[in-house]
Homo-oligomer: A and B are copies of this chain.
């Protein structure tokens, strides 16, 4: 077989993309060269182009596959018939899970989306704004229905999204705190605060 061997039920392009995500996370997109990526695959740089179109394409794949996961999940949660607080909890839960299970890719999306080239950059910004707006509406609904305090909905969205995103810092520490405990504590903090 060829040098680039997908583990199972995956294409070679997917394998390259996965390795690219790991490198882009560690060194940044612009600071990662195709030669470096090729070396990791045990291959010369030009050989990569038998499987992918360009370096930029790799970033596209990473960003939009993650964006799509978020989109699908939110849509599903919003259409379910549970309390708004439960919906919020489920959304935070999903963010944390995705951050854990697809760390490299999520990190790259958060840090390198600016390196996308139009039209993908514009499309990405549009999708993100859409996601944030849906979240905003959910919180506004929660306030109306008196499930939530009379807070500023924009600030709440901001605070939640930011806090969850900060889990990348947790990955840095890699301390003995298990994921479930972290998740429980953060949800509690974000929903009920820390003051006695």
Interface residues of A (CB under 8 A from B): 26-31, 85, 111-112, 114-115, 146-149, 151-152, 154-156, 158-159, 161-167, 169-170, 173, 175, 177, 181-182, 185-186, 188-196
- Are A167 and B177 also in contact (CB < 8 A) when A151-B188, A194-B148 are? no
Give the number of times this chain occurs in the complex, counting copies.
Answer: 2
Q: Are A154 and B175 in contact (CB-based, < 8 A)?
A: yes
Query: How distant is the Cα of A28 from the Cα of B191 in the complex, in angstroms?
Result: 34
Query: How distant is the Cα of A161 from the Cα of B188 in the complex, in angstroms?
Result: 16
Q: Are B167 and A158 in contact (CB-based, < 8 A)?
A: yes
Residues of chain B contacted by A146 (CB below 8 angstroms) = 196
Query: How distant is the Cα of A28 from the Cα of B148 in the complex, in angstroms?
Result: 38
- Which residue from chain B places its CB closest to the CB of A157 in the assembled complex? B169
- Are A115 and B177 also in contact (CB < 8 A) when A186-B159, A189-B155 are? no
Query: How distant is the Cα of A193 from the Cα of B88 in the complex, in angstroms?
Result: 13
